[in-house]
Amino acid sequence: MSPKNMSSSAVLESTAVPDKSGKRFSLRLEYDSSRNRSPWWSPVLSVILALLLCAVFIAANGMNPVTVYEKMFRGAFGTSYGFTETLVKAIPLLLCGLGIAVAYRISVWNIGAEGQLTVGAMAATAVTIYFPDLPSFWAISLMLVFGIAAGALWGLMTAIPRTHFGVNELITSLMLNYVALLALDYVVFGPWKDPQGFNFPGSPMFTAAQSLPVLGTTRLHIGLVFGLVAVLIYFLLIKFTRWGYELRLIGANPNAAKYAGIHIKRHIIIVMLISGGLAGIAGMAEVSGVTHKLMQGISPGYGYTAIIVAWLAKLNPLGLIVTSVLFGGLIVGGYSVQTIGLPSSISELLQGAILFFLIAGEMIHRFRIRRSA
């Protein structure tokens, strides 16, 4: 064992076991904190284990887990309609997940993507209500700007209590999710309710000029390009700019970064603005590209799912593309098993289980069983 490992590893258990020849040796479980890079297969394994765990719950519901998983998979990836739906769901996951990855990189635990998405959608809708006759380009651009600004503002409201008052951002961002959802309820039941909507809570339908262009006859909209461009920009910023370097430094060692003269507070504010802004784009894209109006339930928890999406991708922007499609498929697959009488919450259950196994898997490889005389 190298001297470096000696200082950072610890013996947990030491059991004396006689081996075949009768000579005694001991088995030790060692913890080695220097092994902080989990192997590539750990995310794959955690998905498999989560599927196995949830199979138990499916079986308890009196169904064959294999049939259910097959149906989920076919529903999400088996048909071209299913696959475009999966991509449609992947768009907000990618945008929110990217925002979350930026924040988590420096241990800013933003769990407020849901609220940031919601206010983004509301701000975009405000444009359609207060500037109804803009030509398409200006309408979409203004909606995008409003969406980003609202999301970023919501992010800022999480950042400022953290940087200036020492309030845990987890609590703030979550509380703001509820505030945003209540504000959404207020506008769709109140001032923005469609007068021709048969009393259904929701804004008037967007005009064609206020809707994002879609691919052919599918529901797949240009938001996918927003997401991919954002991934590319983020990737380049992190790799090639001073800001990206500082971010990586804070992530690796906050104390060293502080002594190197990096303004950590400023970085927290910047990442929360970015994080909120990206979720705001997701919200704008949902109303303008998918629902074409503001209503309750525009997000089936994208903001929370995106946390798992980001963590499963190990906060890597390129990995996010893969995991967001996977989880988009999980949501679509969850809907498709409703027809055989299984609650669609099976997909939420799977998501939670994946995260559990994922964080366990990140640690478990640090433990090794060693044999010594």
Partner 1 sequence: MDFTTQLLIAAISAGTPLLLATLGGILNERAGIIQLGAEGLMLMGAVTTCIVYIRSGSLLLALLATLAVTALLGIIHSFLTVTLRANQTMSGLAMTLFGSGLSAYLGKSISGLPLPGTSPKLDLGWVKSIPVIGDIFGRLDVLTWFSLLLVAALHLLIHHTSWGLHLKAVGDNPATADVMGIRVQMIRYSYVTAGAALIGLAGADMVLAYAPTWNEGLTAGRGWIAVGLVIFARWNPLRALFCAYFFGALDSLGFRIQLLGSAIPPYFLKMIPYIVTILVLMYLGYRNRNKPSGTPESLGTPYIREQRF
Q: Which stretch binds partner 1 (CB under 8 A): 7-15, 35-43, 125-133, 236-244?
A: 7-15
Helices (H) and strands (E) in the chain, counts: 14, 3
**Least distance from partner 1 to the Cβ atom of residue 366, Å:** 8
Please, which residue, 107 or 141, has the CB nearer to partner 1? 107
204: left (phi over 0), alpha (psi -120 to 50) or beta: beta
Please, which residue, 134 or 349, has the CB nearer to partner 1? 349
Instruction: Tell me which DSSP letter residue 325 carries.
Output: H
DSSP sequence for 110-122: ---HHHHHHHHHH
**Least distance from partner 1 to the Cβ atom of residue 255, Å:** 14
Among residues 73, 109, 131, 335, the one that binds partner 1 under rule CB under 8 A: 109
CA pair distance 190, 186, nearest whole angstrom = 6
The number of residues making up the chain comes to 373
Q: Which stretch binds partner 1 (CB under 8 A): 167-175, 229-237, 256-264, 292-300?
A: 167-175
- Bridge-based pairing of strands 24-32 and 9-18 is antiparallel
The number of C-alpha atoms within 13 Å of 157 and in the hemisphere containing its C-beta is 21
Please, which residue, 54 or 281, has the CB nearer to partner 1? 54
Question: Does residue 186 touch partner 1 according to CB under 8 A?
Answer: yes
Site string for partner 1, 292-321 (x = CB under 8 A): ------------x--xx--x----------
Q: Which stretch binds partner 1 (CB under 8 A): 143-151, 159-167, 213-221, 273-281?
A: 159-167
CA pair distance 271, 174, nearest whole angstrom = 17
Q: In what order do the strands lie in the sheet with 24-32?
A: 9-18, 24-32, 367-372
Please, which residue, 146 or 311, has the CB nearer to partner 1? 311
Residue 273 token pair:
């603005």
Q: What is the largest CA-CA distance in the chain?
A: 89
Site for partner 1, residues 253 to 272, rule: CB under 8 A = none
Residues 6+ apart with CB under 8 A from 328: 76, 85, 86, 87, 88, 89, 90, 91, 93
Beta-ladder partners of 202: 295
Question: Does residue 110 touch partner 1 according to CB under 8 A?
Answer: no
Please, which residue, 7 or 79, has the CB nearer to partner 1? 7
Site string for partner 1, 46-65 (x = CB under 8 A): -----------x--------
Q: Which stretch binds partner 1 (CB under 8 A): 133-141, 171-179, 244-252, 289-297?
A: 171-179
Among residues 26, 31, 205, 248, the one that binds partner 1 under rule CB under 8 A: 31
Spatial contact of 155 and 276, defined as CB atoms under 8 Å apart: yes
Tell me which amino acid residue 323 is: T
Nearest to 150 by CA among 188, 118, 112: 118
Burial of residue 269 (number of CB atoms within 10 Å: 0-12, 13-18, 19+): buried
Question: Does residue 9 touch partner 1 according to CB under 8 A?
Answer: yes
Question: Does residue 167 touch partner 1 according to CB under 8 A?
Answer: yes
**Least distance from partner 1 to the Cβ atom of residue 105, Å:** 14
Q: Which residues bind partner 1 (CB under 8 A)?
A: 6-7, 9-11, 31, 33, 57, 109, 111, 161, 165-168, 170-172, 174-179, 182-183, 185-186, 189-190, 304, 307-308, 311, 343, 345-353, 355-356, 358-360, 362-364, 367
